[in-house]
Amino acid sequence: MSTNWWHDAVIYQVYLRSFADANGDGIGDLAGLTSRLDHLERLGVDAIWLNPCYVSPQRDHGYDIADYCAIDPSYGTAEDLKALVADAHSRGIRVLMDMVANHCSDQHQWFLDAIASAPGSAARDRFLFRDGRGVDGELPPNNWQSVFGGAAWTRVDDGQWYFHAFDASQPDFNWRNRDVVEYFDGVLRFWFDRGVDGFRIDVAHGLFKDSAMPDALGDGHNYAMWDQPEVHEIYRRWRAIGTEYEPQRYFVGEIWVPTIEAMAQYLLADELHQAFTFDLLVQPWEATRMAAAIDRALVQAERVGGPPAWTLSNHDVHRPATRFGQEQHLDAPLPTDMIAAARRRGDADLALGVRRAKAATMLQLALPGTVYLYQGEELGLPEVFDLPDEAREDPIWLRSNGEELGRDGCRVPLPWDAASPTFGFSPPSSTSAPWLPQPQWFADYAANTQDLSDDSTLAVFRRAIAGKRDTFSGPDIDWLASGHPSLLAFRRGSGICAVNFGDSPVDVPREWNADAVLGSEHIGDGSVIPANSAVWLTVVRDDARTTVGSDGTSPAGLTSTTTGIHGPTGPQSHMRSNDAPQFT
């Protein structure tokens, strides 16, 4: 197993609560996941990333941790995790866990101690307690807002306030306190010693806040709340811990920072291996927007010498099959709320959305780098908008009084079997309903039905994952111009990926001298790229590359620019880094 296994890996995110329920309590669990590893092996994934499954009151479904070194009983036991890791490893599948270090649960022993201790005590110093403003300290210490809506401060009985970037049940740690630093060293080692191959780091840019905690100006990006320079010392420390192990352990960050330069700081050789490329996830179905996002990521990759971690979906956004079937908003996402671009309400043409989502997946898989898939994406599952209000549990829904739908709709338990109760999520004997109700139409997306068809979304995903490394190679891409504004096409190694973003078919340019090998839709004799679809081709005669002139224009009129980990050599190399969108 190579040390840089993640460089072109396909990593599958498991939202454990909703993946598969073995014990029939309506909540997915580790044993359920282990029982479904065949599905993941057949899909062809190299690793899984488990959302947090530690002891938690589940106010934010595991992102509120009360004990970092124990499995929540609703998900199973330490033995179940051991069995999962052993089984996954025996299939060549690595296991990543989720490191939530910005905050814990208000039920964590340290926070209980802090509440029980006096202002100014050592116990309080592990968190961000402050006196309030106003005559009696009745006003919060500053005007910072929680990511989930409302004030980021909650008052305790003795009058002090504590800071929480998210829900009030998720108090932020004080990372300037050495207890906190040393505690997390121990947590990392605890799981690494149990064979865990790495971590996804939750809100990795958030651990430190400007210690003066100044009021935020306006309602734009709150620079004092995120991306403080001290955070890098922590990741250097964690990387060093990871390299104590053989093979070295891997870290991928969930990082939202305003510029490519700021992001690059996290990805230096002695910090994190990767960060998610959310820039692609927030783009509409539009060729130039997608191409620009890809270019930015590859420029970034070149700067840090490591490949991007592409993703179109996760447990925090609406599912791509729905997003791509909705009205496409071509305006740039709001700098203050990028993620909202991926969580819009609105009717969706699901047949169109699924078609585009399959094409977008083939696009990602053709690019140099790692691809993160979110469970259910391989089934083309849409967002569930029609959940009853009373079933919703997301703190975003609760804290916004229903103004924002939040994230429950992408977390509905998976349909495995069209004919069985709970669509095979829980055992047939189960008496508890799934923790979120599954709509009847989930039957149409069940894995067992898709298993039987060569045309299913699942079949396309399997073929694309299996064919990715045979078709594409190398760290660079050459953009190919075709004269069609709706066509995005690039060459990587001897493979060409062409995505038709338009509503009419486009002829495969003959100058490519390439044979179609795979399509997200039927490709017939391979001479056409159907509407809203992707086609992979392999070059049969190598004229396409060799005829590109020094001005980037081939005799055939094709223009070509190269971007990649070894550096851009076309017009894109002049791209200013502040062309990157502003993330919150």
Residues acting as catalytic residues? 202, 244
d(Cα 257, Cα 584) in Å, to the nearest integer? 6
Q: What minimum distance in Å lies between the beta carbon of 97 and ligand BGC?
A: 13
Whether residue 360 contacts residue 323, with contact meaning beta carbons closer than 8 Å, is answered with no
Within 13 Å and on the Cβ side, how many CA atoms surround 498?
36
Q: Which of 273, 267, 279 is nearest to 199 (CA)?
A: 273
Q: What minimum distance in Å lies between the beta carbon of 407 and ligand BGC?
A: 7
**Class of residue 403 by CB neighbours under 10 A (exposed 0-12, middle 13-18, buried 19+):** exposed
Which C-beta is closer to ligand BGC: that of 254 or that of 377? 254
Peptide bond into 247 cis (omega under 30): yes
Q: Which of 110, 166, 208, 501 binds ligand BGC (CB under 6 A)?
A: 166
Which C-beta is closer to ligand BGC: that of 512 or that of 583? 583
Interaction between residue 461 and ligand BGC (CB under 6 A): no
Q: How many CB atoms lie within 10 A of CB 397?
A: 21
Interaction between residue 266 and ligand BGC (CB under 6 A): no
Per-residue binding letters, 196-225, with ligand BGC (x by CB under 6 A): ------xx----------------------
Q: Which of 456, 337, 326 is nearest to 382 (CA)?
A: 326
Per-residue binding letters, 108-147, with ligand BGC (x by CB under 6 A): ----------------------------------------
DSSP code string of 42-62:
HHT-SEEEEPP-EE---TTTT
Which C-beta is closer to ligand BGC: that of 338 or that of 464? 338
Which C-beta is closer to ligand BGC: that of 80 or that of 316? 316
Interaction between residue 316 and ligand BGC (CB under 6 A): yes
For residue 323, the surrounding DSSP H or E stretch is: helix 320-323
Which C-beta is closer to ligand BGC: that of 203 or that of 252? 203
d(Cα 250, Cα 238) in Å, to the nearest integer? 10
Which C-beta is closer to ligand BGC: that of 8 or that of 227? 227
Q: What minimum distance in Å lies between the beta carbon of 64 and ligand BGC?
A: 7
Interaction between residue 63 and ligand BGC (CB under 6 A): yes
Q: What minimum distance in Å lies between the beta carbon of 394 and ligand BGC?
A: 8
Q: Which of 35, 52, 30 is nearest to 104 (CA)?
A: 52
Q: What minimum distance in Å lies between the beta carbon of 397 and ligand BGC?
A: 12
Burial 205-227 (b: 16+ CB within 10 A, else e): bbbbbeeeeeebeeeebbebbbb
Residue number closest to ligand BGC, CB atom? 63
Strand order in the sheet with 153-155: 129-130, 161-163, 153-155
Interaction between residue 60 and ligand BGC (CB under 6 A): yes
Q: What minimum distance in Å lies between the beta carbon of 316 and ligand BGC?
A: 5
Q: What minimum distance in Å lies between the beta carbon of 537 and ligand BGC?
A: 36
Q: What minimum distance in Å lies between the beta carbon of 339 and ligand BGC?
A: 9
Which C-beta is closer to ligand BGC: that of 46 or that of 316? 316
Q: What minimum distance in Å lies between the beta carbon of 61 and ligand BGC?
A: 8
Per-residue binding letters, 397-426, with ligand BGC (x by CB under 6 A): ------------------------------
Q: What minimum distance in Å lies between the beta carbon of 101 and ligand BGC?
A: 10
Is the Cα dihedral 36, 37, 42, 47 positive or negative?
Answer: positive
Q: What angle do CA 68, 73, 76 make, to 5 degrees?
A: 95
Determine the 3-state secondary structure of 65 from DSSP. Answer: coil
d(Cα 514, Cα 516) in Å, to the nearest integer? 7
Which C-beta is closer to ligand BGC: that of 49 or that of 479? 49
Alpha helices in 102-258 (DSSP H): 109-116, 178-192, 231-243
**N-to-C CA span, the chain:** 37
Q: How many CB atoms lie within 10 A of CB 327?
A: 11
Please name the residue that has the structure tokens 């941790």: 65
Whether residue 495 contacts residue 511, with contact meaning beta carbons closer than 8 Å, is answered with no
d(Cα 399, Cα 144) in Å, to the nearest integer? 15
Q: Which of 21, 46, 227, 254 binds ligand BGC (CB under 6 A)?
A: 254
Which C-beta is closer to ligand BGC: that of 167 or that of 197? 167
Q: Under rule CB under 6 A, how many of the chain's residues touch ligand BGC?
A: 9
Whether residue 133 contacts residue 139, with contact meaning beta carbons closer than 8 Å, is answered with yes
Which C-beta is closer to ligand BGC: that of 254 or that of 476? 254
Q: Interface residues with ligand BGC (CB under 6 A)? A: 60, 63, 100, 166, 202-203, 254, 315-316
